Amino acid sequence: MRISDQKKEKISEQILLLLFSSNPQPKFTLHIAQELARDEEFIKKMLLELKKKKLVLEIKKNPQGKNYKRRSRWRLSEKAYEAYKNIQ
């Protein structure tokens, strides 16, 4: 099944809003997928597209500074956070 560009935009907005509400605490891809009731691989694809647009930042290290092998955490970029904050 194929998802329209309009629906992808709405899902992207939901991702950004979820990350804004949890800012500055980053969220794992799994937690974002669970919150939005979507497939984890699909959410990861959407997050990577948002990363290309510089709206989210990918964190590949744990709080102790060690690299994750298969996981990523995500948070809003400063630019995106300021834009959302001004809207609120």
In the sheet that holds 56-59, the strands lie side by side as: 27-28, 73-76, 56-59
Q: Report pLDDT digits (tens) over 4-56.
A: 889 989 999 999 889 988 888 899 999 999 999 888 999 999 999 999 999 99
Return the pLDDT at 86: 81
pTM reported for the whole predicted model: 0.85
pLDDT band per the 50, 70, 90 thresholds, residue 87: confident
Q: Strand ranges (DSSP E) for 1-88?
A: 27-28, 56-59, 73-76
Catalogue all structural domains in the chain, each as residue range(s) with its CATH number.
5-87 (1.10.10.10)
CA angle 75, 78, 79 (to 5 degrees): 115
Query: Is the pLDDT at 3 greater than 90, yes or no?
Result: no
Partner residues linked to 61 by β-bridges: 67
What is the distance in angstroms between the CA of the first residue and the CA of the last residue of the chain? Answer: 35
> 17: Cβ–Cβ under 8 A, 6 or more apart, which residues?
84
